[in-house]
Amino acid sequence: MKLEAAWKLEEGLLVGAFLASILLPLIDFVGRPLSGFHVPGAAVYLQQLTLWLAFVGGLYAVRQRAHLTLSTAELLGAHGRGWAVARGAAQAVAAVACAVLAFGAAGLVVASRDQGGVFTLGIPVWVSELVMPVALGLMAARFALAASPSWRGRAAAFALVGGAFALALLPRPTTALTWLLVGVVLAAVLVGAPVFVAMAGVALLFFFRDGTPVAAVTVEIYRLVASPTLPAIPLLTACGYVLAESRAAHRLVRFFRAVFGWMPGGIAVLVAGVCALFTTFTGGSGITIIALGGLVYPILREEGYSEGFSLGLVTASGSLGLLFPPSLPVILYSVVAEVPADRLFLAGLVPGALLVVLAGGYGMLIGRRVQSVRRSFSWRELAAATWEAKWELSVPVLVIGLFVSGLASLVEVSAIAAAYAILVQCFITRDLHPVGDLPRVLLKGAALVGGVLILLSSAMGLTAYLVDQQIPDAILAWVQQHVHSPIVFLLVLNLLLLVLGSVLEVYSAIVILTPLVVPLGVAFGIDPVHLGVVFLANLELGFLFPPVGLNLFLSSSRFGVPMVKLYRHVVPFLLILGAGVLLITYVPAMSVGVLKLLGR
């Protein structure tokens, strides 16, 4: 009973933090034009709420096994006692990393207490910051308990945590021992430990070897929390999950069918369009294939499309729309690269539309060969379908309109989108019950938010070490010595991102690669916004790249088709979309031209 009460408290904190995060920006947005009213210290409170969503969400993600892992972990997955022991050891390594991070966070809280900061309500700042060491400590305990079904195995995991702290009492490790331990951490991630364990663990080991306090990793969290755009990530996650858990997909399919269903191959355009729109709000996290796959795949088969083409189109369409507002990967890239998110969104409109048109156009070409019964166009059905889907269709209009107009900040737009989705799905369409369903949906979003923000926090620590050691400068010097043309640099970048984008899921790829790629782009005189569009478009393509692209795993799991069989079905889409990515890369007017046209 005590454990269940603790779980309820954890879930209640997450739901409450989500709702408060939506409410605070809304108050500022509504109050500003009316009387200039705002909540004193609202920005600081929103930062603290984001901090709580990150760490309590990260704790919840451990419980739900929702932390982001490498795609290769699934590829290496196997059964048997040996693999069970290996996966248990990986969980034990994760427990060690979290325990050391908790120790560093505790030191950060003590330093904050000594500074004596106080919120406007009179609450000391360090009280709120206690969520970091407490959540990380509980995460360590949960990873250790998950290391084995037996108490003997769990005791071994806890002993490993104790051994890690005992190691700190010894002289600083040699370089050879440090690299050996780095190898252990990376092996654990390949077997199934979360990606954040690799970044946090490697940073902790190198800082420890250099005699730097481990709090140097956790102190980077504050640089992350101070980002004015970071709260948009949990807000848009809430919006995406609310739409995904409702019947919005059915209404959108009916609308796109009414618009394109009469055309030869129009059903393929339907699939590309509705998947792109859905991915826009779910951020390329795989929800599109899981939520829409079972809906649109049978429609394609009923229309006479082959099994191979249908599987290929659904798999490829699962990542379309990644560049459109309010996509989470765009916001995450803007935070890491320090490029304004609104400029990235505007610059991605034409490139994103090009990829959707290419996928849909190929579907139309194949559709002309399909001998299916064509539906006649009906204005009545179009009007009825539009009216039924009006609330879902109005979400991107609302978001883009507020972005372009400048009436609201990115965080305010994100809060409006989340509140609008909740209002529509809970009280207008009534697909979700505000008490029976909404908390469950927000908790699903919280698991993703926790995973992403813990990952980003850990990446900031690793990035700090790389900067201290001047690693980006060394890479820049090497590239400038061997690559002398921006065109060649972009081609190498295309290939690198394609391969790494197939191994890493999108959030991991952004936080790992962006700090290395951005300085290179600057050195070659490439517009930072254009570089961001190229970066994200390549990652979008990497979802399809064999052998371990994320969409391949999801489709294989969703439809029960062997991965090897999927490879040949996605090759045509890979080639067509690849041509589109090259066009986006070498015609910067497609991205920055829009900004110039709008005077941005």
Q: Looking at residue 398, what is its pLDDT?
A: 85
Burial 303-341 (b: 16+ CB within 10 A, else e): bebeeebbbbbbbbbbbbbbbbbbbbbbbbbbbbbebbb
Is the predicted pLDDT of residue 44 greater than 90, yes or no? no
SS3 state at 600: coil
**CA distance linking residue 565 with residue 559, whole number of Å:** 12
More confidently predicted of 181 and 410: 181
- Quickly state the pLDDT bin for 240 (edges 50, 70, 90): confident
**CA distance linking residue 106 with residue 370, whole number of Å:** 64
- Quickly state the pLDDT bin for 386 (edges 50, 70, 90): very high
**CA distance linking residue 115 with residue 87, whole number of Å:** 42
- Quickly state the pLDDT bin for 499 (edges 50, 70, 90): confident
**CA distance linking residue 185 with residue 561, whole number of Å:** 32
What is the DSSP track for 365-428?
HHHTT---PPPPP-HHHHHHHHHHTHHHHHHHHHHHHHHHHTSS-HHHHHHHHHHHHHHIIIII
Q: Looking at residue 75, what is its pLDDT?
A: 52
Mean pLDDT of the 47-57 span: 91
- Quickly state the pLDDT bin for 425 (edges 50, 70, 90): very high
Mean pLDDT of the 80-96 span: 83
State phi, psi for 118 to the nearest 5 degrees: -135, 140
- Quickly state the pLDDT bin for 192 (edges 50, 70, 90): confident
Is the predicted pLDDT of residue 146 greater than 60, yes or no? yes
What is the DSSP track for 195-228?
HHHHHHHHHHHHHHHTT--THHHHTHHHHHHT-T
| Residue 301 in tokens | 């088969």
Query: 368: which residues sit within 8 A by CB, 6+ positions away?
Result: 264, 265
Mean pLDDT of the chain: 83
Residue given tokens 């790629």 in the structure block: 517
Q: Looking at residue 107, what is its pLDDT?
A: 86
Q: Looking at residue 20, what is its pLDDT?
A: 93
Query: 360: which residues sit within 8 A by CB, 6+ positions away?
Result: 268, 269, 272, 273
Q: How crowded is residue 365: how many other Cβ atoms within 10 Å of its Cβ?
A: 13
Q: Looking at residue 374, what is its pLDDT?
A: 64
Mean pLDDT of the 345-363 span: 90
More confidently predicted of 468 and 487: 487
Mean pLDDT of the 69-78 span: 55
- Preceding amide of 547 cis, omega within 30: yes
SS (H, E, C) 313-381: HHHHHCCCCCCCCCCHHHHHHHHHHCCCHHHHHHHHHHHHHHHHHHHHHHHHHHHCCCCCCCCCCCHHH
**CA distance linking residue 448 with residue 439, whole number of Å:** 15
DSSP 174: P
- Quickly state the pLDDT bin for 286 (edges 50, 70, 90): low
Q: Looking at residue 226, what is its pLDDT?
A: 67
- Quickly state the pLDDT bin for 388 (edges 50, 70, 90): very high
- Quickly state the pLDDT bin for 176 (edges 50, 70, 90): confident
Most confident of 46-55, 272-281, 446-455: 46-55
More confidently predicted of 452 and 137: 137
DSSP 432: S
Is the predicted pLDDT of residue 17 greater than 80, yes or no? yes
- Quickly state the pLDDT bin for 222 (edges 50, 70, 90): low
Most confident of 32-41, 331-340, 478-487: 331-340
pLDDT digit string (tens) for 287-296? Answer: 677 767 777 8
Mean pLDDT of the 548-563 span: 74
Q: Residue 178 is inside which H or E element, if any?
A: helix 175-191
Q: Looking at residue 36, what is its pLDDT?
A: 64
More confidently predicted of 595 and 434: 434
Percent of the chain with pLDDT over 70: 93
Most confident of 314-318, 458-462, 587-591: 587-591
Q: Are 600 and 527 in contact (CB under 8 A)?
A: no
Q: Are 143 and 91 in contact (CB under 8 A)?
A: yes
**CA distance linking residue 325 with residue 331, whole number of Å:** 9
Query: 594: which residues sit within 8 A by CB, 6+ positions away?
Result: 346, 347, 349, 350
pTM, 2 dp: 0.81
Is the predicted pLDDT of residue 391 greater than 80, yes or no? yes
